[in-house]
Amino acid sequence: MFKHMIKKILKFFKSLIKKDKNVIFQGSDWKDYSDFEFRWMEIILTKDILKREDLLFLLKRFKIKFLEKNWENSIGTEEMGNVLINDVPKKELWLEVFGILSKRYADKLNFDEAYKIWEKLGGYSRNDLLNTYKRISTDKNINNFVNDKNFLENEESTSDFLKLFIIEEFYKISKKEVIKFLEK
Amino acid sequence: MSNKSVPGSIDSSGNKQGTFLEGEQSRPHEHNSGSSGRDVEAFRNTYKDDKVVHREKASDWGKIHNDNDYADYDSSGDSGK
């Protein structure tokens, strides 16, 4: 009973402090990202490109923690990445992600390289994109999906998906392998 | 991208096919400001035979942060979704 009352009083004071500080959490403004920048960040942070330890480092760097017990082990990497994109302003997140990529993932495409490839893919026909994806695809489910006649009905949408799928595949292999692949 | 994609539908077997705009919320977390809560946002989930083959944030819909006091939060059995 006594413990419960103390808890209630503490909660009340905590709410007063919060109101005094006028804490309104804004998080990241996604309008700061270009279309490709946002997609690229989403690939890097939510599609198992960065290792769990690096996502944990980023969360701790920005003093974000989940309230679940033992969250460092229980929260999925996609959810960690999503929260980072939601809650950390682009400029700060960008610097840290660039730093991690250049230090620990130097064998992967950097942002500029990925963007150049994205632009190059923009000039491909849908058939070229489909053939390129089929050559590099490692995901059986996506492969079945892109071969579905319903998927192929909408040309604009199909090309957009395929470009994204190709970039995602390129992040599963090294930069050297990507260059070799594109030369063929 | 996927605001150009083919809208999802349910086929005769009851399976989702195509792209659906679906709302989700994160599990509660705390920020450096001391505030805590859940992120609520929309995702474009693309299904083939009821399985998600691709998902991405629906950035054109934005997100909100649902600020709450989770001082007494009990983590057991909360999936957040």
Q: Scanning every residue of chain A, which has its alpha carbon at the shortest distance from the alpha carbon of B53?
A: A142
Q: Quick one: DSSP state of residue B3? A: G
- Alpha carbons within 13 angstroms on the beta-carbon side of residue A75 total 28
- Residue B1: per-residue pLDDT: 44
Q: What is the Rg, in whole angstroms, of the alpha carbon atoms belonging to chain A?
A: 21
Task: Tell me which residues of chain B, numbers 23 to 62, contact chain A at a CB-CB cutoff of 8 Å.
Answer: 26-37, 39, 41, 46, 48, 51, 53-54, 56-57, 59, 62
Kindly state whether residue B50 falls inside one of the protein's structural domains: yes
Kindly state whether residue B44 falls inside one of the protein's structural domains: yes
Cα maximum dimension of chain B: 49
B49-73 pLDDT, tens digit per residue, is 999 999 999 999 988 887 766 655 6
Kindly state whether residue B81 falls inside one of the protein's structural domains: no
Kindly state whether residue B23 falls inside one of the protein's structural domains: yes
B4-38 pLDDT, tens digit per residue, is 666 788 999 999 998 999 999 999 999 888 888 99
Kindly state whether residue B17 falls inside one of the protein's structural domains: yes
The reply to whether residue B80 touches residue A83, judged by beta carbons under 8 angstroms, is no
Distances (CA, A) of B12 to A99, A153, B7: 49, 19, 16
Contacts of A82 in chain B (CB under 8 A): 26, 39, 41, 57
For A48: left if phi > 0, alpha if psi spans -120 to 50, otherwise beta; the answer is left
Give the end-to-end CA distance of chain A in Å, rounded to a whole number.
74
Assess A157–B contact: CB distance below 8 Å, yes or no. yes
Residue A165 pLDDT greater than 80, yes or no: yes
- State the total domains in chain B: 1
Sequence spans of domains, chain A:
30-104, 111-183
- With contact defined as beta carbons under 8 Å apart, do A81 and B29 qualify? no
Please name which of A154, A153, A79 lies closest in space to residue B3, comparing C-alpha atoms.
A154
Kindly state whether residue B66 falls inside one of the protein's structural domains: no
Distances (CA, A) of A179 to A8, A113, B57, B59: 61, 10, 29, 30
CA distance A98 to A26: 23
CA distance B11 to B17: 7
Helices (H) then strands (E): counts for chain A: 12, 1
CA distance B68 to B35: 8
- Residue B34: per-residue pLDDT: 81
Which of B4, B28, B67 has the CB atom closest to A66's CB atom? Answer: B28
User: What is the domain extent for residue B6?
Assistant: 2-59
Contacts of B74 in chain A (CB under 8 A): none
Please name which of A116, A108, A90 lies closest in space to residue A31, comparing C-alpha atoms.
A90
ipTM of model: 0.84
Please name which of A31, A27, A138, A39 lies closest in space to residue A83, comparing C-alpha atoms.
A27
- With contact defined as beta carbons under 8 Å apart, do A150 and A135 qualify? no
Query: Regarding predicted confidence, which is higher, A147 or A10?
Result: A147
Kindly state whether residue B79 falls inside one of the protein's structural domains: no
